Structure 1
Amino acid sequence: MIDAGLSASEIVSRLRAIQVDPRQIKAVLVTHEHQDHVFGTDVLALRYGIPIYANEATRRAAKPLKKLPVPVHLFETDSPFRVDRFYIHPFPISHDAADPVGYTVQTDWHKVGMVTDLGCLTPSLEALKECDVLILESNHDIDLLLNGPYPEHLKKRVSGNQGHLSNDEAGTLLQSLLHPKLRTLFLAHISQKNNLPHLAYQTAETVLKETDGAVQLHLGWQDFISPVATLT
């Protein structure tokens, strides 16, 4: 599991809705310390014995991890490690956090990549190449952000190099990651105030036209479960 930003009870409810026992989870991989990414980590660790993995800067900065009475498994950013049969690469990203990362999770047969909460495209995103499944941030439409309800300092934060990816930036990233192995794309971290789902979808759909329908495109929702991608 990558991040646990909902309450543990909500996470467990959603896992059970897709027939997954929380005790089957091998690890929670933390991307950064912001509360919408770590809120449920401590309860999942204590109630279900799920190991938590983070780098040292994130462990120190995340409130649920600082008070956790069981050890956090530490890794070095950009140094791959293994959990069970999974080969995990935490790569650095640009966001206003202590030491934020995205992840790829790989087995002998498949590779999944996830990155959200990044303000700009950096060379480290090369790690996302040749994934079967991608989860990419498509946070805001720049016009809706600039003309929306956020105060000026928040608009600058969101659109800055340590903020979040716009739909157009997500499309640029996606274009660089297209390859024959890619089968499923989820758009994530879609703002409810500064974006519209159909705008995010249309931008990605335009990029995916050259794949002739080989890639399934889904939106990641905050309030309910997205479709499940099965790798066989």
Structure 2
Amino acid sequence: MSGFDTVVQTFVVNHAAHSAIINHAIRTIAALYLFKGLMLIAALWWIWFTPGERREWAREMVVVTIASGFIALMTGRLLAHALPFRERPIYDTTLHLDFPAVGLGDSVMRTWSSFPSDHAMLWFAIATGIFLVWRGIGTLALIYTAVFICAPRVYLGLHYPTDVIAGAVIGIVITCVLTRDVVRTRIARPILYGVERFPGPGYMLAFLLSYELITQFDELMQLWHSAAKVL
């Protein structure tokens, strides 16, 4: 653990709330999809259906923002496998830090590397896309991501601060690259054409992809692991 991580995590633990109600509330925020990306995905749908002179550009931005989130999530999970394993602070007994107890899928958490934070990568990528379209709402989206999605995971010892910072930077960079004109148009225009020509299947797939991003493909991953055990 870096010196920066040590200072932040020690400060968090020493100043953690001693109220069982507050700790339970933070655990709930960290666990429920309602407090993760639901509001951010809803903001993208809001952008999509907002009329205006730049509607086509805004819809292109929505498409590449969703693509950025998907790429960020997959990149985060690939990096977690490819990079050296980093144990989550709550399970590292050498830290001698007593984090508020959590019950967020302990068996999976123990075997999943802490670095980088895929939550930070995904939702900062999405929040950045919102920011590039709507500065005001996007600023709130970035703050929301930091406060309600990332901070509770550091508070509970699920991630080191550098896990979250690295994830945020990677997610932001991915969105900034994909939203550049030359990249955005090549990705988005064929998809927009398909949605306009086949709106029924197009919006059905958009809804399903939105749902899977909100849940971070957790149920599909559980099905995959269950099938792998049986086979």
Shared topology, TM-score over 0.5?
no
Q: Which has the larger share of helix?
A: 2
Q: Which has the larger share of strand?
A: 1
Smaller-chain TM-score bracket: under 0.3
Larger radius of gyration: 2
Q: TM-score, normalised by structure 2?
A: 0.24
Q: TM-score, normalised by structure 1?
A: 0.24
